[in-house]
Amino acid sequence: MNRAVKRLLSFAAALFAFLSAGCSNGGNTVVGPPPPPPTGNFSNSSLNGQYAFSMSGTELCAGQGSFFARAGSFTADGSGHITDGVEDVNVCTGVFTLPFTSSTYSISADGRGTLNLTNSTGTTTYSLTLTSPTQGFVAQTDGNATAGGSLQRQNPAAFSNPAIANGYVFDVFGASSAANPESIIGRFDADGAGSISLGLYDSNEAGTPSGQQLFPAGALYQFDHTFGKSGRGVANIAGHNFAFYVVDATRLKLVGTDFPEVFSGEAFAQQSIAFTAASLNSGLAFLLGGSSSSGPIATAGRFTADGVGNLSEIFLDENNNGTVTLLPSQGGTVAGTYTLDANGLGGGMATWTDTRVGTFTFIFYLISPTEAVFQEIDTGITSDGTLLAQTGGPITPASLAGDFAFVLSGVTQNGSNVDSNDFVGQLKLTSASGNNATGIMDFTEFSPAHQQQLFDIQSSGPLDITSPGTGPNTLTLTTTFPSPQTFNFTAYAVDSSTVFLVGVDNNRVLAGSIARQP
């Protein structure tokens, strides 16, 4: 699925400064002890065809951290070479469309690998982990930068206006022209000829929600004649300009092209039904990330919707700049409700109250009865993410046993530095008790004063499942190199193939997910 990659932003961060469009190599490189020989069925031939990718992150920008985003497409030949492609990058000197020249990649048996993409500004290096030959997670591992995102194999048959003819739900997150954190979610209809209608959106800038709005005049989409073979097009959505890259007719990757604002996100084809309260009638898990007035924030949880507007079995773990809130609170109880917009277009609101902690309010746009984009609208919080129906329960250690790709994004207090982090790697789970989780990962530590890339870092620890497994579970991973570090997570299983993770340490804020490999 590869949809739960959230970028966490500090509300007070200096998001814009002067920066070249290229990514300079620098910082310190740390390589862990040799891991066990990789096992699995992946190889260079697993990456074969055209792939769309998108990611966002932070780069060094005249001594400050600057939020940036990129999206693009590349063609892999199955033998370690990138033969074609293009990307759009939005950095604080502007927005640039850059074709790729000679580039390379390498995939090991466990799906982990490297990707080196070269354009006129230089070569950018990434670590990646495939979940299958059609998709995977990716993290930038250059010095002076950190970023995370995903890639999916493209279907060139969808590289035309007529193929983009559906309702679409979208979610973009980034920084406004005023350098404030901003989330925009909504939906629109594309007519197959370049026109957009029935556009609705909700914006949340610096913790102030807009309420539902109509798209301004000028909404459209159009494929690019120059780079159309890469699935590239341009669009005006909710009053903002984007470049998009088509995965297929059901999924578009978006990067904002208005300067100096910067957005990154995706759009998903919406099921063509009239949505009502009855459309939500299951257990659902969610993962959100973003910014609060205190700093970075990450939230995960689950609830059960009964099809008539009531919520029950509500659990939530929220890490707000190192302060962790759990629902239900100790000694408290939680109850909630939800509503769907009367127009049947899938917009709605969910609210729940803990008797000791208070009220949490979210809005959503349904992609289908089992999936939605999700945005928190409580005062001072700008945070959004994914809502997915939980299926295939109960979840047990045996049902989760296997190999998984994982991705995490977040912020860590590292001595006197506050580092942005992106992690990508593989996690092996067994049904045994004790240290039933073992992992290997690459990640970055980035702040203006401290840039470090770490490769082949091994970890292990317990994944403890609380029956029936659909509520909060715990995952603890400890590394021994280059120094002992313990990462504590609450794990919410969507099913036996996808698990949401939210960090619950008070010195770091992390959000991410694991996805099963074949």
All domains in the chain, ordered by first residue: 277-389 (2.40.128), 397-516 (2.40.128)
Q: Do strands 28-31 and 450-461 pair parallel, antiparallel, or not at all (unpaired)?
A: parallel
Cα–Cα distance measured from residue 6 to residue 203, given in angstroms and rounded to the nearest whole number: 17
Cα–Cα distance measured from residue 345 to residue 303, given in angstroms and rounded to the nearest whole number: 22
> How would you write 312-331 as a 3-class SS string?
EEEEEEEEECCEEEEECCCC
Q: For the CA atoms of the chain, what is the radius of gyration?
A: 21
| Partners of residue 22 on adjacent β-strands | none
In a 3-state reduction of DSSP, which class is residue 155?
coil
Per-residue model confidence (pLDDT) at position 393: 81
Cα–Cα distance measured from residue 53 to residue 59, given in angstroms and rounded to the nearest whole number: 18
* More reliable by pLDDT, 66 or 287: 287
How far is the CA of 427 from the CAs of 38, 193, 507, in angstroms? 12, 44, 23
Whether the CB-CB separation of 293 and 355 falls below 8 Å is answered with: no
Asked if the model's pLDDT at residue 16 lies above 50, the reply is: no
Region for residue 63 given its phi and psi (left: phi exceeds 0; alpha: psi -120 to 50; beta: otherwise): left
Q: pLDDT exceeding 70 applies to what percent of the chain?
A: 95
Cα–Cα distance measured from residue 495 to residue 393, given in angstroms and rounded to the nearest whole number: 7
The 10s digit of each residue's pLDDT in 178-215 is 999 999 999 999 999 999 999 999 999 999 999 999 99
Asked if the model's pLDDT at residue 70 lies above 60, the reply is: yes
Q: Please name the helix (run of DSSP H) or strand (run of DSSP E) that holds residue 167, with its range, or none.
A: strand 165-175
Q: Can you tell me the mean pLDDT for 62-78? A: 92
Asked if the model's pLDDT at residue 24 lies above 50, the reply is: no
Q: Please name the helix (run of DSSP H) or strand (run of DSSP E) that holds residue 85, with its range, or none.
A: strand 81-91
Cα–Cα distance measured from residue 1 to residue 257, given in angstroms and rounded to the nearest whole number: 26
In a 3-state reduction of DSSP, which class is residue 346?
coil
DSSP 453-497: EEEEEEEEE-EEPPTTSSS-EEEEEEE-SSS-EEEEEEEEESSSS
Mean of all residue pLDDT scores within the chain: 93
Per-residue model confidence (pLDDT) at position 59: 86
Q: What DSSP character marks residue 164?
A: -
Region for residue 6 given its phi and psi (left: phi exceeds 0; alpha: psi -120 to 50; beta: otherwise): beta
* More reliable by pLDDT, 21 or 309: 309
| Partners of residue 166 on adjacent β-strands | 190
Q: Can you tell me the mean pLDDT for 317-338? A: 97
Omega cis (within 30) before 468: yes
Cα–Cα distance measured from residue 46 to residue 30, given in angstroms and rounded to the nearest whole number: 28
The 10s digit of each residue's pLDDT in 367-384 is 999 999 999 999 999 999
Q: Please name the helix (run of DSSP H) or strand (run of DSSP E) that holds residue 507, with its range, or none.
A: none
Per-residue model confidence (pLDDT) at position 8: 54
Q: What DSSP character marks residue 37?
A: P
Per-residue model confidence (pLDDT) at position 409: 95
Asked if the model's pLDDT at residue 20 lies above 60, the reply is: no
Count of C-beta atoms within a 10 Å radius of residue 311: 19
Per-residue model confidence (pLDDT) at position 21: 30
Count of positions (residues) in the chain: 518
Asked if the model's pLDDT at residue 3 lies above 60, the reply is: no
